[in-house]
């Protein structure tokens, strides 16, 4: 596919420099996600001689081969891989018939993804989201801001910090570039940053979205300072009490609703001191007769006692998200947060009658977010804006949910996860990868592919395809199946109908080789997990007061450990954690607190539910009935 070169400042330069006459873009899917022409902003300063000018974002790749330029975008740093989404849970509120299915919402429900956001975004349709808010991990040093502590989060932290600030920016740029493709032409992207990297991120975002400047240019619109007083205070520097929020629009037309966010200030503006922390100041109230807030927002950060607080340091206040969502979107619009953490963005979006997409690579974050949405819907009774939502896994798949799939769906899923194309022409050939036919065994993890399956598949590929190669994918192979495949292969050089079969166990490295070999960081992107085994003991301490002990629970996954436990002490058909019991950490060690105390409000029969996540992405909810005395 060949494109006009003129609109690309960077290409104009490269074309001349590299003496090429063709430019090729390698992926027509993302055709309209371009970086803007930066010519006016980046002019070669002749009087300084040939200084290097970096007008392309860090990590952006332009390859030249045989007088042809190939734009590989960020794919050198992060090669593309496609894997299927696994719906592990649908939370139904009984109103799903109202909502149409679209390419972004194929199930008609809002979507909460567990997985790496770059790869997930690459599988979502262009021009489909109205507003993206992100609060990515700050650039603050190795493991420093690991929040939830499961393996996927920790692994990604070590990837991000490789190469210091440039490495962090390349990691972020690849994601920002995808976001630009996903937002609609009137859409916005809002990035929440702190002092560590906000200025570097702005430079990169200017390159990806445009420098903005005037109303006719796409790109940068506002740098908003979120200031607050809460939290600790050092003595030798001015306390760092602001974050920087960068707002970009995709084009020169954008949604901005001033009216719903008009405010009026109340109070003296004086400080209110509580212990060592300054917790308050001038307060504002929404007032339609007030003014549109300035580009500095005095919104209190969450103090340790705030009711909405879940218990991890980077949780953003609802009031902040309310202002962002009201200002940059309309009712019914689609709001996305690809670094969702504890779910502030979708919770507020849900409450403000917007549809939403959310994503996190931590299974704990996904569990906390799901809980938060259920609570918003139950507390407000707000059934508008698609109350149903689905939890979808990308890359880390739950075995029991796979086992429940009907045979055809299971086979399609496995073929896709193996990087193949499903087929439905012959009962024994379920797909193909690079023209090699694939057979998939049955869904039950205890099943085995037998000698008979091997013989039938070999016959089918020889007869139907006149091929000598095939791949069998299954949980297990019986010893005689392996032997049969060896006999078939040994006929090579003796007979023309020899068949060489690869027998690949789904849990072996061979199955995910197509992902692992693309990039060293991808080695754990594709795996199958079991839910943990949950064991709960309880003991009465005094009237209505009980101790619950889940410390005997075990992860059934390799290198697995229990990473978090959530409790619902009054379970009624739907798991919603009891306030203060969704993310409990031991104050000294920071490790998950597996033994908890609870004071029931009265005696009688109660149903308790306990949801346990391990550090490999496994999750299980256990329910038990108890007579409180
Ligand atoms: C700063 S927190 C977001 C907090 C959130 N704004 C809130 O109010 O709760 C950043 C989140 O990004 C997630 N994250 C980091 N890298 C990611 C990736 N590549 N894909 C998906 N999520 C990622 C982390 O697991 C963490 O939960």
Residue 78's pLDDT is: 92
Q: Which residue has the higher pLDDT, 389 or 95?
A: 389
Nearest in space to 70 (alpha carbons), one of 83, 58, 61, 59: 61
CA 401 vs CA 137, 257, 512, 562, 624: distances in Å: 31, 43, 19, 20, 22
Confidence of residue 227 (pLDDT cuts 50, 70, 90): very high
Count of beta carbons in the 10 Å neighbourhood of residue 331? 11
Are the CB atoms for 542 and 592 separated by under 8 Å?
no
Residues 6 or more apart in contact with residue 4 via CB below 8 angstroms: none
Is the predicted pLDDT of residue 187 greater than 90, yes or no? yes
Nearest in space to 437 (alpha carbons), one of 446, 450, 428: 428
Task: Find the 117 Cα to ligand 1 centroid distance in Å.
Answer: 9
Atom of ligand 1 nearest to the CA of 343: 9
Nearest in space to 152 (alpha carbons), one of 176, 183, 120: 120
Is the predicted pLDDT of residue 272 greater than 50, yes or no? no
Q: Looking at 27-36, 148-157, 305-314, 472-481, which range is the least confident one?
A: 27-36
Is the predicted pLDDT of residue 264 greater than 90, yes or no? no
Q: Give me the percent of the chain exceeding a pLDDT of 70.
A: 88
Residue owning the nearest CA to atom 7 of ligand 1: 315
Residue 413's pLDDT is: 98
Is the predicted pLDDT of residue 11 greater than 50, yes or no? no
Among 159, 339, 344, 392, which residue has the most ligand 1 atoms within 8 Å of its CB, making it the best to mutate? 339
Confidence of residue 493 (pLDDT cuts 50, 70, 90): confident
Distance separating alpha carbons of residues 222 and 225, to the nearest angstrom: 9
Q: How many helices (H) and strands (E) does the chain have?
A: 13, 30
Domains of the chain, start order: 8-73 (no CATH), 85-255+295-395 (3.40.50.150), 400-524 (3.40.1350), 530-628 (2.60.40.10)
Task: Find the 520 Cα to ligand 1 centroid distance in Å.
Answer: 22
Q: Looking at 75-79, 161-165, 478-482, which range is the least confident one?
A: 161-165
Task: Find the 259 Cα to ligand 1 centroid distance in Å.
Answer: 31
CA atoms within 13 A on the CB side of 129: 30
Residue owning the nearest CA to atom 3 of ligand 1: 341
Is the predicted pLDDT of residue 144 greater than 70, yes or no? no
CA atoms within 13 A on the CB side of 151: 19
485: helix, strand or coil: helix
Atom of ligand 1 nearest to the CA of 138: 1
In 200-234, which positions are buried (b, 16+ CB within 10 angstroms) versus exposed (e)?
Answer: bbbebbbbbbbbbeeeebbbbbeebebebbbbeee
Confidence of residue 268 (pLDDT cuts 50, 70, 90): low
Residue 576's pLDDT is: 93
Among 341, 342, 346, 615, which residue has the most ligand 1 atoms within 8 Å of its CB, making it the best to mutate? 341
In this predicted model, what pLDDT tens digit does every residue of 547-587 receive, in sequence order? 999 999 999 999 999 999 999 999 998 999 999 999 999 88
Residue owning the nearest CA to atom 13 of ligand 1: 339
Atom of ligand 1 nearest to the CA of 365: 27
Q: Structure tokens of 54?
A: 């970096």
Task: Find the 389 Cα to ligand 1 centroid distance in Å.
Answer: 19
Confidence of residue 31 (pLDDT cuts 50, 70, 90): low
- Phi then psi for residue 89, to 5 deg, are -160, 140
Task: Find the 29 Cα to ligand 1 centroid distance in Å.
Answer: 27
In this predicted model, what pLDDT tens digit does every residue of 280-329 receive, in sequence order? 455 667 888 889 999 999 998 888 778 888 877 788 999 999 999 999 99
Task: Find the 366 Cα to ligand 1 centroid distance in Å.
Answer: 10
Distance separating alpha carbons of residues 224 and 245, to the nearest angstrom: 5
Confidence of residue 273 (pLDDT cuts 50, 70, 90): very low
Among 360, 393, 582, 613, which residue has the most ligand 1 atoms within 8 Å of its CB, making it the best to mutate? 360
Is the predicted pLDDT of residue 4 greater than 50, yes or no? no
- Taking CB atoms and a 6 Å cutoff, what residues make up the pocket around ligand 1? 116-117, 135, 137, 147-148, 153, 156, 314-316, 339, 341-342, 344, 359-362, 365
Confidence of residue 371 (pLDDT cuts 50, 70, 90): very high
């Amino acid at each position: 596919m060949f494109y006009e070169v003129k609109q690309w400042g960077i290409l104009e330069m490269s074309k001349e420099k590299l003496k090429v006459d063709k430019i090729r873009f390698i992926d027509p899917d993302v055709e309209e996600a371009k970086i803007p022409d930066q010519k006016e902003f980046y002019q070669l300063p002749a009087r300084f001689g040939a200084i290097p000018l970096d007008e392309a974002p860090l990590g952006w790749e332009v390859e030249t081969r045989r007088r042809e330029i190939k734009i590989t975008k960020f794919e050198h740093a992060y090669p593309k891989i496609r894997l299927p989404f696994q719906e592990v849970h649908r939370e139904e509120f009984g109103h799903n018939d109202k909502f149409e299915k679209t390419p972004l919402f194929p199930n008609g429900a809002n979507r909460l993804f567990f997985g790496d956001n770059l790869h997930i975004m690459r599988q979502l349709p262009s021009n489909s989201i109205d507003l993206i808010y992100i609060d990515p991990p700050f650039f603050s040093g190795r493991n420093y801001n690991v929040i939830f502590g499961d393996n996927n989060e920790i692994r990604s932290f070590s990837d991000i910090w490789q190469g210091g600030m440039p490495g962090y920016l390349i990691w972020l740029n690849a994601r920002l570039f995808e976001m630009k493709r996903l937002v609609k032409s009137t859409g916005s992207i809002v990035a929440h940053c702190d002092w560590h990297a906000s200025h570097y991120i702005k430079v990169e975002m200017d390159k990806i979205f445009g420098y903005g400047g005037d109303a006719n240019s796409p790109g940068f619109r506002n740098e908003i300072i979120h200031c607050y007083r809460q939290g600790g205070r050092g003595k030798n520097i001015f306390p760092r009490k602001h974050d920087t929020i960068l707002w970009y629009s995709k084009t020169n037309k954008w949604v901005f609703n001033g009216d719903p966010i008009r405010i009026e200030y109340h109070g003296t503006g004086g400080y209110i001191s509580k212990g060592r922390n300054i917790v308050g100041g001038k307060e504002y109230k929404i007032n339609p007769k007030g003014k549109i807030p300035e580009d500095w927002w005095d919104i209190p950060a969450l103090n340790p006692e705030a009711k909405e607080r879940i218990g991890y340091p980077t949780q953003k206040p609802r009031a902040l998200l309310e202002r962002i969502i009201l200002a940059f979107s309309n009712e019914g619009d689609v709001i996305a947060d690809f670094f969702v953490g504890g779910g502030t963005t979708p919770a507020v979006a849900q409450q403000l009658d917007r549809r939403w997409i959310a994503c996190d690579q931590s299974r704990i974050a996904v569990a906390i977010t799901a809980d938060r949405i259920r609570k918003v819907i139950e507390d407000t009774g707000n059934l508008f804006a698609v109350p149903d939502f689905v939890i979808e896994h990308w890359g880390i798949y739950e075995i029991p949910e796979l086992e429940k799939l009907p045979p055809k769906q299971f086979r399609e899923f496995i073929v896709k996860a193996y990087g193949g194309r499903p087929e439905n022409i012959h009962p024994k050939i379920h797909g193909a990868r690079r023209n090699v036919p694939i057979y998939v065994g049955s869904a039950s993890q205890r099943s085995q592919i037998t000698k008979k399956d091997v013989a039938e598949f070999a016959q089918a590929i020889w007869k139907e395809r006149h091929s000598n190669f095939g791949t069998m994918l299954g949980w297990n192979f019986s010893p005689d199946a392996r032997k049969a495949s060896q006999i078939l292969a040994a006929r090579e050089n003796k007979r023309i109908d020899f068949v060489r079969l690869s027998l690949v166990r789904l849990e072996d490295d061979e199955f995910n080789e197509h992902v692992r070999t693309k990039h060293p960081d991808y080695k754990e992107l594709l795996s199958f997990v079991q839910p943990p085994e949950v064991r709960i003991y309880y003991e009465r301490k005094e009237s209505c007061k009980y101790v619950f002990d889940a410390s005997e629970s075990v992860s059934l996954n390799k290198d697995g450990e229990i990473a978090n436990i959530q409790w619902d002490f009054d379970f009624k058909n739907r798991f919603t954690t009891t306030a203060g019991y969704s993310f409990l950490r031991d104050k000294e060690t920071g490790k998950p607190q597996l033994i908890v105390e609870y004071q029931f409000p009265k005696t009688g029969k109660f149903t308790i539910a306990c949801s346990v996540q391990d550090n490999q992405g496994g999750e299980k909810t256990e329910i038990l009935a108890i007579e409180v005395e």
